[in-house]
Structure 1
Amino acid sequence: MAEAEAEAEAPKPRPRPIVRLGIFLIAHSLLLSVVCCTAGILTLLLLPVLAKNTYISENALMPGSANSMLPGQEVSEANRLVKDLTSLDLKPVGGGIESQRLIAEYMSDLGAEVSYHRFYPQSNQFHPLHFLSYPESGTIRENVSCSLHGLNTVGIIRAPRGDGKEAIVLVTPYNSGKIGPGEALSLGIAYSVFSLLSRVTWLAKDIIWLAADSKYGEYAAVDAWLSDYHMPVFNGLGALNAEMCHGSNILNELKDDSFTERKICDGFRRAGTMAAALVIKVADRSEQFENSLSIYAEASNGQMPNLDLINIVNFLAVHRQGLQTKVEKMWSLLNCKWLKILGEILESLGHVARSLNPQWKFGIPAADYAEGIATLASSLYYQALGVPTGPHGAFRDYQVDAITLEISSGVFSNDKVKQNDFLLRGGRLIEGVIRSVNNLLEKFHQSFFLYLLTSPSKFVSVGVYMIAFALLVAPLPMVAASLYIDAHKLDPSYENDKSTPPASAAEKFGITFRSCKWLNAAKKVFVVHLWGAVVSLLPYFVCQIPSCTPTISFVVWVSLSILSLLILYLILGFPFSYVNASSQSQNRDWALLKSVTISAAFIGLCLMSVINFSTAEIGALLLVPMCLMAQPLKLDVKARILRNFSRVACNLALGFIGFPPAAFFVLKGVFEGFGGISVGYFWNWLETIWAWNSATYLYIGMVHLPCWVLCIHVLFHPC
């Protein structure tokens, strides 16, 4: 008896500090949500201030350490190639074949190994089974005519100091049917560099020049060649798909030429593993972008090349060739008044910080802040979109670092002096980049692969911009746990369970029937997410409708989605499952449903952050406030307090903006204006991301949309 009393009076062991911290955070989940969400948004707005200057991480690159060797002789030959290419447009027939023959002749005169590569355009039709795979190149898709094919011209220079195991790729897209002045100049720049590299002795990596026939798309031509490059093809030049396309005779015409018979290689030619790739383009605009270089780096699903590749291009362009480098930005944000005000506030805070301590480097000029936000928003958007911004994206799918360089200059007149200077500067820029990559003994790995650009010379690394995402999603598990606990406190059997001693070992460890009631809410959340998967597959069937406009396709898709949701609700009895329930039971049900919904949103956002961090970042900005604020409107209306009515307004606004089509139209209207917007635009946007196998499409259909439906269900819960 005394021993029993001693055991009863013995103090209970205190929980560990991590457990006490968890209990404290769950108890103050409301304050945690407000603080973390506010801090996450502020951190995102402060990223241009926290951006670092770019630097070369790999010492072996040594950009600009050697003087350029490109002489005027190569520039003269490049001018002759440009003149010959532009003169082909005057010929009424055979311009495409003549352009390919002409490029091959110039390549062969330099002693390069020249070959042709035939490819067929790929179908971009949505197919659920092929969503996460890439179509096989070199095969004819259904409903594609054999006469519709392109022909790439490939030249390879073998490095005198190399062993054939590594290569650098130069890509110049051009329309073989009608070569524009910009395309002719890009071919001229590539030829001048190719001519120089055929004579140098320091080259340690093979050089591949791919003149990509872009009449069916720049990306399609490069992707088809890369697919065949990494997948051995044992057919000959003229036998490729011969069993499918007997009527295609362009290769036969080229082989019948005496020059081709002597110097063009039969079969697919290869070099070593690709160390890097540069896509060279010359913009056809020349009014306000003279002597500038635009860099495009985004690839599929937010993949980026190693930052060192961008750094050496930026360094050589600015400090060696005097070009102004640019990256994409959202121009509409530059005129936002609230950004200018925020920039001025941060600039003033920077002055105060430096007055207190000169070593505190906080704050940037207001104009630089607005430009940094516009560039950051563009970098976030294009990474989240998951669509490559140029043909360089095809290389990134094979883990090859590549960027597109678009040079702008006013040389489209007959001024030969300007054209010579433009070709010389462009050629020396490419030569410097190739010389730096040639110095590498291994692949790019020293610098960052996960980053956001705020200018060509400033970046934000993943260790900084992930803080904003972590702050946004941090309250979700705490709020879910708090709702779960509160829901069971509303259970009438909660007090009885506490007062009744456990009758079995299962109840002793908390495994009671009451603790399994959340499975009903979990079942609803699972089924709605399953509905989201069905909605994601519906476009495959909508695309089968013949002669269907984007507007009609969108309306049919929405109608089928609503119909399937209503059928699902009728089967599960969602709208009628609370009619005979008590008010406490209804409160417990919506709290449990919201708890499981928040948990599903947290898991979905975290998984998406592994695939595409920018998509998860933008999704968290839209989804987290909506999930945290969701509460039955009936409860707020009954209270008749100003605070509750303000919460009703916030919930309705967040519910509207959280709907994917509504968010698309609102953002498009804010950035580009509301004039001429139609519902077909959203369908076209969806077609774009599913045609490129973007994981953002899966996120919208299987994470964001189901969570939005569940939040709307919580809002209209019949409490």
Structure 2
Amino acid sequence: MIWWQWASKWLLVPRPLCWDVEGLRGPWRAVTLPLARRALEGMFRKLNHLLERLHQSFFLYLLPALSRFVSIGLYVPAAGFLLLVLVLKALGLWMQLHEAGVGPEEAEAASGPSPPLPPAQGMGLASLVAPLLISQAMGLALYVLPVLGQHVATQHFPVAEAEAVVLTLLAIYAAGLALPHNTHRVVSSQATDRGWMALKLVALIYLALQLACITLTNFSLGFLLAATMVPAAALTEPCGPRPLYAALLVLTSPAATLLGSLFLWRELQEVPLSLAEGWQLFLTALAQGVLDHHAYGALLFPLLALGLYPCWLLFWNVLFWK
């Protein structure tokens, strides 16, 4: 009976969680529950203080004017919903590809006595390699050839070096409209529905990743590109009104977005441009973008040439798949 009373008293006495924990300062001491609670509370207070300090900086705000600012809680959800459209469209294509890949035996086993589905059309990865490689090659040519070929152009044509660079840019950009949309016929004589669906799935994921990275570094540029490219990317398919989809893709291409932004910029400044003045300003902006990259290391030109332009060509390929 004595040992039971002693054991009961020992269990009722609050004991520390850890007996021998060496502190950063002082001798050995026990870490009790209130001490752990205070440590956890202090950690959260430090994180809250750090968050307040970040909110006091201009990194999490947009300043459209000196007297106005836009918080991160307002502009990030807008870009997130635009990128969500690409993610949902990619998931829809994934489900369609999965349903198309189910054979009649699997369909009968899953649904019971329902009528069997027609055999699924085969989709080889070789039908996707050619569009991907040629689109990336066109982007690489758009990035490399204008600077490498400027001396050859000035020797054979009466143009300056800046004009040669811009004209080469426009020539390669226009050539991309004619080359990639029939590249799948190199490896496959029969264009299947699963082929363009798989290619569009890859293009949607590629575009979503690029726009997410751009938005994290330059929200204004990322939101502008997302607002123009996401609707066209989601609607593009080889079935339906192809001329309408083609016009929408051309109007939302990187070059057309730049041209429209220049007109909108001068319109907001209440200095409207004529078509000739807008075209000259567009050519000047192209030359200035290439110069800024090679002279100061600006990343806008390689981003458009090596990233967004090949991705846009993939959607152009999807449109003319059949």
Same fold per TM (> 0.5)?
yes
Secondary structure of 1:459 counterpart:
strand
Deviations 1:532-578 (A, max 9, x none): 234222233144454525444322233345668877788xx424555
| Partner of residue 599, structure 1 | 205
Secondary structure of 2:62 counterpart:
strand
Q: Tell me, in whole angstroms, the C-alpha distance in 1 between the residues paired with 2:319 and 2:179.
A: 20
Query: How many pairs are equivalent?
Result: 247
Q: Tell me, in whole angstroms, the C-alpha distance in 2 between the residues paired with 1:692 and 1:629.
A: 38
| Partner of residue 171, structure 2 | 559
User: Of 519, 524, 532, which aligns to 2:139?
Assistant: 532
Deviations 1:234-266 (A, max 9, x none): xxxxxxxxxxxxxxxxxxxxxxxxxxxxxxxxx
Q: Does 1:447 align with 2:57?
A: yes
CA contact (8 A) 1:532 1:701 kept: yes
Distance change (3 Å), C-alpha of 1:560 and 1:703 = closer
| Partner of residue 261, structure 2 | 667
Q: Tell me, in whole angstroms, the C-alpha distance in 2 between the residues paired with 1:697 and 1:458.
A: 30
Deviations 1:684-717 (A, max 9, x none): 2423542442222232112221122111112222
5 Å matches for 1:171-182? none
Q: Tell me, in whole angstroms, the C-alpha distance in 2 between the residues paired with 1:445 and 1:617.
A: 21
| Partner of residue 463, structure 1 | 73
Please state how far the C-alpha of 1:464 moved relative to its aligned partner.
2.0
User: Of 147, 156, 160, which aligns to 1:548?
Assistant: 160
CA contact (8 A) 1:536 1:698 kept: yes
Deviations 1:292-335 (A, max 9, x none): xxxxxxxxxxxxxxxx9xxxxxxxxxxxxxxxxxxxxxxxxxxx
Q: Tell me, in whole angstroms, the C-alpha distance in 1 between the residues paired with 2:227 and 2:55.
A: 32
Distance change (3 Å), C-alpha of 1:588 and 1:564 = closer
5 Å matches for 1:197-208? none
Distance change (3 Å), C-alpha of 1:447 and 1:538 = same
Q: Tell me, in whole angstroms, the C-alpha distance in 2 between the residues paired with 1:575 and 1:659.
A: 24
Q: Tell me, in whole angstroms, the C-alpha distance in 1 between the residues paired with 2:55 and 2:70.
A: 17
5 Å matches for 1:515-664? 517=124, 520-521=127-128, 524-525=131-132, 527-545=134-152, 546=154, 548=160, 550-560=162-172, 573-577=183-187, 579-581=189-191, 586-632=192-238, 635-637=239-241, 648-649=243-244, 651-664=245-258
Distance change (3 Å), C-alpha of 1:457 and 1:557 = closer
CA contact (8 A) 1:623 1:704 kept: no
5 Å matches for 1:375-386? none
Q: Does 1:686 align with 2:293?
A: no
CA contact (8 A) 1:686 1:697 kept: yes
Give the AA of the match of 2:202.
Answer: V
| Partner of residue 320, structure 2 | 716
Ranked by relative contact order (alpha carbons within 8 Å, sequence separation 6 or more), the top structure is 2
CA contact (8 A) 2:229 2:253 kept: no
Q: Tell me, in whole angstroms, the C-alpha distance in 2 between the residues paired with 1:576 and 1:516.
A: 15
Please state how far the C-alpha of 1:587 moved relative to its aligned partner.
1.5
5 Å matches for 1:88-487? 446-487=56-97
Distance change (3 Å), C-alpha of 1:524 and 1:452 = same
Deviations 1:65-103 (A, max 9, x none): xxxxxxxxxxxxxxxxxxxxxxxxxxxxxxxxxxxxxxx
Please state how far the C-alpha of 1:474 moved relative to its aligned partner.
0.8
Gaps of at least 5 residues in structure 1 are 1-57, 59-307, 309-443, 502-513, 638-646
CA contact (8 A) 1:551 1:683 kept: no
Give the AA of the match of 1:537.
Answer: V
Please state how far the C-alpha of 1:662 moved relative to its aligned partner.
2.3
Q: Tell me, in whole angstroms, the C-alpha distance in 2 between the residues paired with 1:453 and 1:614.
A: 11
Distance change (3 Å), C-alpha of 1:674 and 1:495 = farther
CA contact (8 A) 1:487 1:589 kept: no
Please state how far the C-alpha of 1:606 moved relative to its aligned partner.
1.4
TM score, norm. by length of structure 1: 0.31
Distance change (3 Å), C-alpha of 1:497 and 1:530 = farther
Deviations 1:354-384 (A, max 9, x none): xxxxxxxxxxxxxxxxxxxxxxxxxxxxxxx
Distance change (3 Å), C-alpha of 1:452 and 1:526 = farther
User: Of 684, 693, 703, which aligns to 2:307?
Assistant: 703
Q: Which has more helix, going by share of residues?
A: 2
TM score, norm. by length of structure 2: 0.63
Secondary structure of 1:594 counterpart:
helix
Q: Tell me, in whole angstroms, the C-alpha distance in 1 between the residues paired with 2:232 and 2:210.
A: 15
Deviations 1:400-452 (A, max 9, x none): xxxxxxxxxxxxxxxxxxxxxxxxxxxxxxxxxxxxxxxxxxxx994332321
Please state how far the C-alpha of 1:631 moved relative to its aligned partner.
1.3
Distance change (3 Å), C-alpha of 1:578 and 1:536 = same
CA contact (8 A) 1:601 1:707 kept: yes
| Partner of residue 73, structure 1 | none
Query: Following superposition, which runs of at least 4 residues in structure 1 exceed 6 angstroms of deviation?
Result: 564-570
User: Of 470, 494, 500, which aligns to 2:103?
Assistant: 494
Distance change (3 Å), C-alpha of 1:562 and 1:453 = closer
CA contact (8 A) 2:146 2:164 kept: no
Deviations 1:163-186 (A, max 9, x none): xxxxxxxxxxxxxxxxxxxxxxxx
Secondary structure of 1:454 counterpart:
strand
* Structure 1 vs Structure 2 CA RMSD: 3.6
Q: Tell me, in whole angstroms, the C-alpha distance in 2 between the residues paired with 1:692 and 1:463.
A: 33
Distance change (3 Å), C-alpha of 1:628 and 1:522 = farther
Distance change (3 Å), C-alpha of 1:617 and 1:661 = same
Give the AA of the match of 1:669.
Answer: F
Give the AA of the match of 2:160.
Answer: C
Secondary structure of 1:448 counterpart:
coil
Secondary structure of 2:274 counterpart:
coil
Q: Tell me, in whole angstroms, the C-alpha distance in 1 between the residues paired with 2:55 and 2:96.
A: 50
Q: Tell me, in whole angstroms, the C-alpha distance in 2 between the residues paired with 1:599 and 1:563.
A: 25
Distance change (3 Å), C-alpha of 1:568 and 1:594 = closer
Secondary structure of 1:618 counterpart:
helix
CA contact (8 A) 2:181 2:316 kept: no
Secondary structure of 2:184 counterpart:
coil
Q: Tell me, in whole angstroms, the C-alpha distance in 2 between the residues paired with 1:577 and 1:666.
A: 38
Give the AA of the match of 2:289.
Answer: L
Q: Tell me, in whole angstroms, the C-alpha distance in 1 between the residues paired with 2:126 and 2:58.
A: 43
Secondary structure of 1:636 counterpart:
coil
